[in-house]
Amino acid sequence: MATSEELNEWDRHYLWHAFTQMAEHEPLIVERGEGCFLWDTDGKRYLDGVSSLWCNLHGHNHPQLNAAISGQLAKLAHATTLGMSNPPAIELARRLAQITPGDLEHVFYSCDGSSAVEVALKVCFQYWQQCDAPKPKKKKYLAFGNAYHGDTLGSTAVGGIQHFHEIFGPLLCEVVRVPSPDRRFGTTEEHLGKLGAVLAEQHETIAALVIEPLVQGAAGLLMQGEGYLRGVRELCTRYEVLMIADEIVTGFGRTGKLFACEHENVVPDLMCLGKSLTAGYLPMAATMVTSKVYEAFLGEYHEQRTFYHGHTFGGNPLAAAVALASIDLVEASKMLSEVLPPRIEQFCLRLQRLEQHPEIGRHLGDVRQLGLMAGVDLVADRENNIPYEAHQRVGYQVCKATTEAGVWLRPLGDVVVLIPPPVISEEELDLLFDALTQSLLKICVEIAVQPQA
């Protein structure tokens, strides 16, 4: 059995980590989990403060989820959904149709969120080529500044974070871009006015609009104003543009409702699900479509209406089984009605205490929160809105100090992201904020990082 030292060495040499500068990589190798905690190969315990990249719902090593996988493993580990099916995939498709808003009744499986968005983009393009009233000029997509929808080429194209995607520009399809609907920089009416003007001018060539409902996740949890999502739905309907809701981050309760679209009673034409679909257990994603969209792909073989797209592991029975068990747990635990409300209240109170802290508060810019999700901006000087210099990597330093204190966090630049599992206890949430408070004091206050000139 490999030692910790050997694993560290092999990790640095052989394993190329996502979104990681490997020349500076410092391994953190976890080997087991229980509840909201992870343990590394040296036996040190860490509170999982970001739900293992925003996907863990019920904690690690949950007996009911483990049993679902074990039970299915004894029957069938994998079978393709190209030309055949399996009971868990069928049952999950029906269940998703029952719990998602409106008439999103048809499910196309893939393996990750990026692929779910890729499916949605291709579906929308093909839809306008072959629907009952074809509009073949509709070949573009409308997306937002600061958006993030994944890293395949299609999902990269509709992403709007320059730092991530600029280098791949020559490979990408044409996208119509409107400014981020960040509520800090304009009212709902102003943002909808900008969007409406673009749609009025270009709707004849736009196949679909893709949006992260209510909150732009990878941009640093940027929040939209009340009524914006509902206004987007109305504009898409008016201008005959399909609406894709990317609920990969926001789905399954993280915002306080099962799906973010439910906050404004919005039914998109397509909805992308991933991450928490399997409670963070196995790779699986789904693209939900309405009957109107689905029926455009039905016809005789010679009509070539088929959606020629697929994934080897789409609809994998192990993943589908654990997804079904997770949905059962959400409902049986009354997560939305009883578990989350007191934790969200505590979450908000602890965020307020950070903002009001006499020493820490002056180093916090905007603090954004929705449900059990928050983005905390770190600044050199809040009063004068002076940011830290990028090379100081203050967000990284704060999260490194927090991890050393036993709470694992991962920043987005100088934004500290807090997305703990919904099952986190009162004591565990206090542990998270206590560690973060001490780390902010250590990094932002004690070492007195100098603001830029």
Q: Would the annotation count 311 as a binding residue?
A: yes
- Give one DSSP letter per residue of 81-139, joined into a string: SSS---HHHHHHHHHHHHHSSTTEEEEEEESSHHHHHHHHHHHHHHHHHHSSS--TT--
Say how far apart CA 425 and CA 391 lie, in whole Å.
36
Q: Would the annotation count 11 as a binding residue?
A: no
Cβ contact 222:368 at 8 Å = yes
Distances in whole angstroms, Cα of residue 415 to Cα of each of 80, 251, 439: 41, 22, 14
Give me the helix-helix angle, 426-440 and 394-404, nearest 10°.
130
Q: Would the annotation count 251 as a binding residue?
A: no
Return the SS3 of 447: coil
Q: Would the annotation count 275 as a binding residue?
A: yes
Q: Given the structure tokens 């009524």, which residue do they identify?
A: 227
Q: Would the annotation count 194 as a binding residue?
A: no
- Which are the contacts of 304, defined by CB distance < 8 A and separation ≥ 6? none
Q: What share of the chain is helix, strand, coil (3-state, %, to 5)?
A: 45, 20, 35
Phi, psi values for residue 132, rounded to 5°: -60, -30
Say how far apart CA 347 and CA 433 lie, in whole Å.
9
Q: Can you say whether the dihedral through the CA atoms of 420, 421, 424, 428 is positive or negative?
A: negative
- Supply 366's token pair: 């905007």
Q: Would the annotation count 439 as a binding residue?
A: no
Q: Would the annotation count 113 as a binding residue?
A: yes
Q: Which residues pair with 378 in a beta bridge?
A: 364
Q: Would the annotation count 388 as a binding residue?
A: no
Q: Would the annotation count 410 as a binding residue?
A: yes
Question: Which residues are known binding-site members?
Answer: 113-114, 148, 246, 275, 310-312, 410
Q: Which residue numbers belong to the known binding site for substrate?
A: 148, 275, 310, 410
Known binding-site residue numbers for pyridoxal 5'-phosphate: 113-114, 246, 311-312
